[in-house]
């Protein structure tokens, strides 16, 4: 029986692992399908405190892995299919044919940004296609960029990007934004933001280095096509939390995010904690995920002390 199983190897999972390992709980981490999490898909991370020169996302995640292993965390490269609660209040964690037992489980499986499903998407990530203005906006100074989406995220990203870009096209599939009025007014009132209504991206256009150089657009009302030259496209059409495997033991909100107890990382099931983007649609930052990983570790430690 494990003291703690941590599911996920992003910032939340590794931080939870460092803390629980240093508390002598020898955590077992289950990697998930994307070892290292979302930061492995970005290039340089400039906003994580402690790295004044910035650090590559993948290097930061390798460092977190090393740091957790140094204190005794173990990593199993597998994907969790489901979690169930046993009669003694411990948990069964199912990975294919193997079933692991643990007294506590920390779910840190993150969220995946939604993409449009167009060709070249994978190759373009980090080369002019991203889902994080906070992470990558500063790389696109004095050049035109586009944001796709019409919700709060799209408006927030577009407004933020006006600090750097020469122009921000806000491409939305309808003729009005879904965003809250205050965020929509802020975006539409910004002279650097030009809305492109009733339009969808049908193709990403690349230069001879394989980097983004623009998009092909289709007007969804009259069917007309056009091209827009931009150096980067920020996709803000929502995220999907990776919470599907844990149904029953936790409550999910309408968008599938795990609902934590107020001000805590604990969930409605004692001994089961959630940290990072799988439970947080609001901040969605590496540092806030790491903070929640730390909180979940401390709560798991206290829970174990209480039951033992």
* Active site residue ranges: 132, 135-136
From 64-72, 153-161, 241-249, 260-268, span contacting ligand NAP (CB under 6 A): 153-161
From 6-14, 96-104, 132-140, 232-240, span contacting ligand NAP (CB under 6 A): 232-240
DSSP assigned state of 257: P
| Integer Cα distance of 70 and 64 in angstroms | 10
| Integer Cα distance of 218 and 225 in angstroms | 5
Sign for the CA dihedral angle at 129, 133, 135, 138 comes to positive
Rg (CA), the chain: 21
Among 85, 94, 167, 178, binds ligand NAP (CB under 6 A): 178
Is residue 285 involved in binding ligand NAP (CB under 6 A)?
Answer: no
Among 36, 144, 150, 241, binds ligand NAP (CB under 6 A): 150
| Integer Cα distance of 154 and 171 in angstroms | 9
Is residue 280 involved in binding ligand NAP (CB under 6 A)?
Answer: no
Among 167, 192, 216, 281, binds ligand NAP (CB under 6 A): 281
Nearer to ligand NAP, 144 or 150 (CB): 150
Nearer to ligand NAP, 152 or 231 (CB): 152
- CB 148 to ligand NAP: min, Å: 6
E strands, the chain, are: 2-7, 28-30, 44-45, 55-56, 74-76, 82-85, 91-95, 98-107, 111-113, 129-130, 144-148, 167-171, 193-196, 199-206, 212-219, 225-229, 232-235, 239-241, 272-274
| Integer Cα distance of 140 and 165 in angstroms | 6
Distance in Å from the first CA to the final CA of the chain: 14
**What residues between 200 and 219 interact with ligand NAP by CB under 6 A?**
200
Is residue 174 involved in binding ligand NAP (CB under 6 A)?
Answer: yes
| Integer Cα distance of 264 and 53 in angstroms | 33
Contact 177, 151 (CB under 8 A): yes
Is residue 70 involved in binding ligand NAP (CB under 6 A)?
Answer: no
| Integer Cα distance of 272 and 258 in angstroms | 11
Is residue 159 involved in binding ligand NAP (CB under 6 A)?
Answer: no
Among 149, 195, 241, 276, binds ligand NAP (CB under 6 A): 149
- CB 173 to ligand NAP: min, Å: 5
Sign for the CA dihedral angle at 49, 53, 58, 63 comes to negative
Is residue 221 involved in binding ligand NAP (CB under 6 A)?
Answer: no
Is residue 173 involved in binding ligand NAP (CB under 6 A)?
Answer: yes
Nearer to ligand NAP, 163 or 174 (CB): 174
Among 2, 156, 277, 299, binds ligand NAP (CB under 6 A): 156
Residue with the shortest CB distance to ligand NAP = 151
Is residue 153 involved in binding ligand NAP (CB under 6 A)?
Answer: yes
- Please work out the total of residues on this chain that contact ligand NAP, with binding judged by CB under 6 A: 17
Is residue 241 involved in binding ligand NAP (CB under 6 A)?
Answer: no
Q: In degrees rounded to 5, what are phi and psi of residue 209?
A: -95, 5
Is residue 238 involved in binding ligand NAP (CB under 6 A)?
Answer: yes
Q: Kindly list the residues in this chain that would bind ligand NAP in the complex (CB under 6 A).
A: 116, 148-154, 156, 173-174, 178, 200, 236-238, 281
């Amino acid at each position: 029986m494990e003291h703690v199983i941590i599911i996920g190897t992003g910032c939340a999972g590794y931080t939870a692992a460092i803390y629980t390992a240093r508390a002598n709980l020898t955590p077992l981490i289950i990697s998930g399908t994307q070892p290292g999490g979302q930061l492995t898909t970005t290039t340089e991370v400039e906003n994580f405190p402690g790295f004044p020169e910035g650090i590559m996302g993948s290097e930061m995640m390798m460092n977190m892995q090393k740091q957790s292993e140094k204190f005794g965390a173990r990593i199993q490269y597998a994907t969790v299919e489901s979690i169930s609660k046993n009669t003694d209040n411990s948990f069964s964690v199912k990975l294919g044919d193997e079933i692991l037992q643990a007294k506590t489980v920390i779910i840190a499986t993150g969220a995946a940004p939604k993409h449009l499903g167009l060709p070249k998407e994978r190759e373009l990530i980090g080369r002019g296609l991203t889902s994080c203005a906070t992470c990558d906006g500063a790389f696109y100074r004095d050049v035109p960029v586009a944001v796709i989406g019409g919700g709060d995220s799209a408006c927030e990203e577009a407004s933020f990007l006006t600090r750097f870009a020469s122009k921000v096209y806000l491409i939305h599939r309808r003729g009005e934004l879904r965003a809250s009025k205050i965020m929509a007014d802020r975006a539409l009132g910004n002279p650097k933001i030009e809305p492109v209504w009733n339009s969808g991206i049908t193709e990403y256009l690349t230069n001879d280095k394989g980097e983004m150089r623009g998009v092909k657009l289709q007007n969804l009302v009259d069917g007309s096509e056009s091209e827009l030259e931009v150096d980067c496209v920020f996709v803000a059409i929502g995220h999907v939390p990776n919470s599907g495997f844990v149904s029953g033991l936790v409550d999910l909100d309408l968008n599938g995010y795990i609902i934590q107890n107020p001000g805590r990382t604990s969930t409605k099931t004692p001994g089961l904690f959630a940290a990072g983007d799988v439970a947080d649609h609001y901040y969605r930052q590496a540092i806030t995920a790491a903070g929640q990983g730390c909180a979940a570790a401390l709560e798991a430690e206290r829970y174990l002390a209480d039951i033992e």
